[in-house]
Amino acid sequence: MSRFSLTVNGQSHTVDADPDCPLLYVLRDTLALNNPRFGCGLGQCGACTVIVDHHAVRSCRIPVSSAAGRPIGTLDGLGTPEHPHPIQQAFIDEQAFQCGYCLNGWVMTAKALLDGNPHPSEEEIRRAFQGLICRCGSHVGILAAVRRASGHQA
Amino acid sequence: MAHHVTRREFVKRGGGLLVGFSLIDGSVAPRLLASTPRDSQAAEDPSAPPDSPSRLDAWLRVDPDGLVHVFTGKVEIGMGVETAFAQIIAEELDVPVSHVRFVMGDTAQTPDQGGVGGSTSVSNGAKPLRNVAASARAMLLQAAAPQLGADPAQLEVRDGIIINPAHPATRVSYGAVAGRADLHEILQVTGAGFSLNVEGAGTPKDPSTYRVVGTSVPRVDIAPKVLGTFRYVTDVRVPGMLHGRVIRPPATGAHLVRVNDEPARRIQGYVRTVVKHDFVGVLADTEWGAIKASQAVDLTWSEPAANLPSHDSLYTWMRQATPKASRQTLPHGPSTSAGAGDVESALSLASSRVEASYEFPFQSHATMGPGCAVADVREGQATIWSGAQKPHALRKGIAELIDMPIEHVRIVWVEDSGSYGRPGFEDAAADAVLLSQAAGRPVRVQWMRADMTAWGAKGPAVVCDLAAALDEHREVTAVRFTSRAFSGGEILYQPSTGDNFLAARLTGVPNTSSVDEFVSWGGQTPAYAFPNVQSIAHVVASLYDGPSPLRTSHLRDPEGPAASFAVESFIDEVAAASGVDPIALRLKWIKEPRAQAVLQAAAEKAGWQSRPSPAGHARNSAGDVLKGRGVALGTRNGTYVGTIAEVDVNRRTGALRVTRFVCAHDCGLIVNPGALTRTIQANLVQSLSRAVHEEVAFDDRTVTSVDWRTYPIARMADVPPTVDIVLINHPELPPGGAGEPSSRPTAAAIANAVFDATGVRMRRAPLTAARVKAALA
């Protein structure tokens, strides 16, 4: 066990954890930040995606020790029910999902994509999401939401 | 009717279960919080059992704020049924949709409606809800009438406010009169499970007056999910909870010989290893501790002989196996007349014949969340938090598994990822129950990816052989359909028996509750009215009779995609052999007007040019990419789907790309066109995935599809640039099912488009690039 300082959505937390413990379990079990979701534990599906240093990363694959001291963003920190982030609003407007278990990965990957490239082409959107899984097949709605969000982001 | 434990009995016997666990953040799901009014009101009533489905207030209560709390045994599995229900309740009561709250699937608080299955939630499951809401409205108006100085029949309701139209200022809210209304009204109960219905004093509205049903109300669960405030079952945590992981045998038939947990004891937080015959679970204080300990514990397994045929020989094995059960079925509908059964003579007298065989593999539910449950089994009581889609059946199954009176078992349903049948969420619940029982503490079991993809129940492999007789005018005179399939009922779709759980099998319990389910013409396929039709269905025995990763159960639209892949490809082959357009042939032989209408609507939207397949450009085209179009029809319990796929096939690589789907869909009255459209779109992508990617691989020992690399599914690159949905609304008909029907025709539509493009017929699914390339060579 070691002690780590994590900055999540601008808030500092001190946690005791095994250094090789994936960030995912610290966020979920220690900090009760539930939106990064366990899908595979193998970095193959993206349900656990968080943003570290402005990059969408798979929290099931990065040890807590390497995330310490770097800014971590989760879905909880994106917007609030009163003031949804424009990307969240676009996904709501498009009613983009079925069960929504995977949506954390899509929304956070959309955030990372549009922060770096506010007006991606169709090809760029599809490429950015090729590493994500949606078992329900909600892709048509997701594409519509990302297009909508890219139109809204100046 | 199943015996219902009264709310009071339950409180008496195990009241602590109802209130004994708080959640770490106090907000598991809005639905759980919504249970408060009923919890607080129900216990004191002296008369009828408060949770009997014959009581109106077992289904619906109105609180003083005017919020309407509805208690249903149906659950949300991601297709928007909660919103559809809210619309139906809001319509009958004239309250805003936002005033309707649900408790879903909590076995201590909801009627047993059979859970979710068969695309019946709206078609059947909403009936009692509609009737209950209509009766509640009648009771509320009756209670308000004296105060408003009018007959109940004269009163109007707007947004939950009852108004006397003769004196519009005279009004009272539902909330204010709810205390006086007789919501204990005794209802007439008919049916059980999926068909449970109740009727009371109120008459539901005439559908032609609907204002809320039929509109695209935003789904009530989408915004909380996107905003991150929604809680899934994976987020349930209870005090004193341990984390569990299960370890499955390395091969079918392998038995545990020796357990050495010495290496696990060095893992921080490790508690113990639970062993029961071949069932193994590891417990730890932390999730990471449980994962590491499960990897560290040293298990020695026996090395059994190879128990499975090789994957390559699966279909040969199925054809050679002596069927364990067979059923000859006559065709449905008008084709039962005029000489049905003379198929053999028609085939022998035919001027020409078309014969073909089609193969569809085992497929995995491979749910997005691999399966999770929390169980607390202590002091003769069991509470299980699970996202399984049939919670009341799960309650029975768990009671049987641990030999506990059912009254002492409670399932608290909390949404999991989309389940699409019986994926294994039920098995995860059983795992958690056994581990909690052994530990004497609450246990959360989270399956790892391989536990679901490799060890979850499978959709069965299906082989279909078809033969058609054509006369000298190339008209069809007879069709013979023969299926060979593993039973979708090897594991019951209702998890209501203890012996079906994987954990039970691993602890040595034999499976005695399997049923044979048959794949038949007109059952999972359209029933074309050819003059003679014979349908013969064989069920073949499981590949391995013990606890097997290839045990089979219901996967979305059980056997529909497999059987319709065969029949709808075959109809295309017949059309090609007859030199006629594939839609024209279908319109000639399918007699149901609604089936004809979806084909015509899809054709119109797609700009379908009438001509036979193949397109004929395969030989002449200079480029690598060949284009084609294909159609298929899906019929399922009164829902009709016509799907057209347009494809690009790269003849050098075999890569197949669906460039456009057009899907015309008729499920009777449409409750929510927006949500329906999204569900059909998702159905198309998921069934495309099953058609071109999904196949459970195995060697002679076990399943080797363990993750998303070894069990690939559709990703963004597979998604067609254009997906056109044509909704056909029938307000004069009751609403039908929409969760599964549009999964049915997709595979055949794609295969038919590949034939149109290339002239090559693909008869084995999935249509992987390697398979298409080999076929084109």
Same domain? For B635 and B736 the reply is yes
CATH topology of domain A86-152: DNA polymerase; domain 1 (1.10.150)
Partner-chain contact B368 A98, CB within 8 Å: no
One-letter amino acid for residue B225 of the chain: K
Nearest CB to A135 within list B287, B291, B366: B366
Nearest CB to A137 within list B226, B448, B689: B689
Same domain? For B270 and B142 the reply is no
- Per residue in B222-271, pLDDT tens? 999 999 999 999 999 999 999 999 999 999 999 999 999 999 999 999 99
Residue B195 inside a domain? The answer is: yes
Find, among B297, B296, B293, the residue nearest to B283 by Cα: B293
State whether residue A31 sits within 8 Å of chain B by CB: no
Same domain? For B466 and B610 the reply is no
Residue B184 is predicted with a pLDDT of 82
Residue of A nearest to B415 (CA): A99
Residue of B nearest to A82 (CA): B227
Lowest mean pLDDT among A94-103, B41-50, B154-163, B448-457: B41-50
Phi, psi torsion values for B15, nearest 5 degrees: -55, -35
> What residues contact B399, with CB distance under 8 A and at least 6 apart?
B382, B405, B406, B408, B409, B498
Residue B573 inside a domain? The answer is: yes
End-to-end CA distance of chain A: 45
Nearest CB to B418 within list A47, A98, A126: A98
Query: Average pLDDT of B333-349?
Result: 65
Nearest CB to A76 within list B228, B684, B723: B228
Same domain? For B733 and B762 the reply is yes
Same domain? For B476 and B621 the reply is no
Strand partners, B158: B161
3-state SS class at B482: strand
- Per residue in B691-744, pLDDT tens? 999 999 999 999 999 999 999 999 999 999 999 999 999 999 999 999 999 999
Partner-chain contact A97 B368, CB within 8 Å: no
Query: Average pLDDT of B560-581?
Result: 98
Residue of B nearest to A92 (CA): B223
* pLDDT of residue B161 exceeding 50: yes
Alpha carbon distance B200, B578 (integer Å): 56
Residue B339 is predicted with a pLDDT of 47
Under 8 Å between Cβ of B642 and B582: no
The residue that leads in pLDDT, B116 or B339, is: B116
Residue B557 inside a domain? The answer is: no
Query: Could you give the percent of chain B with pLDDT greater than 90?
Result: 88
Find, among A90, A128, A54, the residue nearest to B716 by Cα: A128
* pLDDT of residue B534 exceeding 80: yes
Residue B452 inside a domain? The answer is: no
In angstroms, the separation between the Cα of residue A137 and the nearest Cα of chain B is: 4
Residue of B nearest to A122 (CA): B721
Same domain? For B332 and B411 the reply is no
Nearest CB to B226 within list A38, A103, A136: A103
Q: Dihedral of the CA atoms B158, B164, B169, B172 (nearest 10)?
A: -60
Residue B559 inside a domain? The answer is: no
Q: What is the mean pLDDT of chain B?
A: 91
What CATH number should be reported for the domain holding residue B709? 3.30.365.10
Q: How many structural domains does chain B have?
A: 4
Domain ranges of chain A: 2-76, 86-152
State whether residue A22 sits within 8 Å of chain B by CB: yes
Under 8 Å between Cβ of B99 and B160: yes
Residues 62-91 (A) with a CB less than 8 A from some CB of B: 74-76, 78-81, 84, 88, 91
Range of the domain at B748: 564-776
Alpha carbon distance B763, B766 (integer Å): 9
* pLDDT of residue B19 exceeding 60: no
Nearest CB to A21 within list B288, B369, B417: B288
Residue of A nearest to B370 (CA): A39
Residue B266 is predicted with a pLDDT of 97
Alpha carbon distance B541, B516 (integer Å): 9
The residue that leads in pLDDT, B767 or B119, is: B767
Strand partners, B382: B377, B409
In angstroms, the separation between the Cα of residue B452 and the nearest Cα of chain A is: 10
Contacts of B223 in chain A (CB under 8 A): 81, 84, 92
Contacts of A42 in chain B (CB under 8 A): 449, 707-708
Same domain? For B298 and B344 the reply is no
- Which segments in chain A show pLDDT lower than 50? 153-154
Nearest CB to B78 within list A38, A132, A136: A136
Alpha carbon distance B136, B683 (integer Å): 36
How far from chain centre, in Å, is Cα B63?
Answer: 33
Same domain? For B345 and B436 the reply is no
End-to-end CA distance of chain B: 60
In angstroms, the separation between the Cα of residue A60 and the nearest Cα of chain B is: 11
Partner-chain contact A140 B25, CB within 8 Å: no
Same domain? For B473 and B601 the reply is no
Query: Average pLDDT of B543-571?
Result: 97
The residue that leads in pLDDT, B329 or B416, is: B416
- Per residue in B572-630, pLDDT tens? 999 999 999 999 999 999 999 999 999 999 999 999 999 999 997 666 677 899 999 99
Q: How many CB pairs under 8 A join A and B?
A: 179
- Per residue in B621-661, pLDDT tens? 778 999 999 999 999 999 999 999 999 999 999 999 999 99
Residue B338 is predicted with a pLDDT of 44
Same domain? For B195 and B129 the reply is yes
Residue of A nearest to B292 (CA): A21
State whether residue A140 sits within 8 Å of chain B by CB: yes
Partner-chain contact B713 A103, CB within 8 Å: no
> What residues contact B539, with CB distance under 8 A and at least 6 apart?
B323, B324, B325, B326, B485, B486, B487, B516, B517, B518
Contacts of B29 in chain A (CB under 8 A): none
CATH 3.40.640.10 fits A2-76, yes or no: no
Same domain? For B379 and B359 the reply is no
CA distances from B434 to B15, B274, B445, B448 (A): 22, 9, 10, 18
Residue B334 is predicted with a pLDDT of 40
Partner-chain contact B227 A80, CB within 8 Å: yes
CA distances from A125 to A97, A100, A144, B98 (A): 17, 19, 11, 34
* ipTM exceeding the 0.95 mark: yes
Find, among B620, B625, B724, B714, the residue nearest to B665 by Cα: B724
Residue of B nearest to A100 (CA): B225
- Per residue in B393-404, pLDDT tens? 999 999 999 999
Same domain? For B387 and B329 the reply is no
Give me the numbers of helices (H) and strands (E) for chain A, helices first please: 6, 5
State whether residue A44 sits within 8 Å of chain B by CB: yes
Nearest CB to A140 within list B416, B675, B685: B685
Partner-chain contact B708 A45, CB within 8 Å: yes
In angstroms, the separation between the Cα of residue B459 and the nearest Cα of chain A is: 15
Residue B35 is predicted with a pLDDT of 35
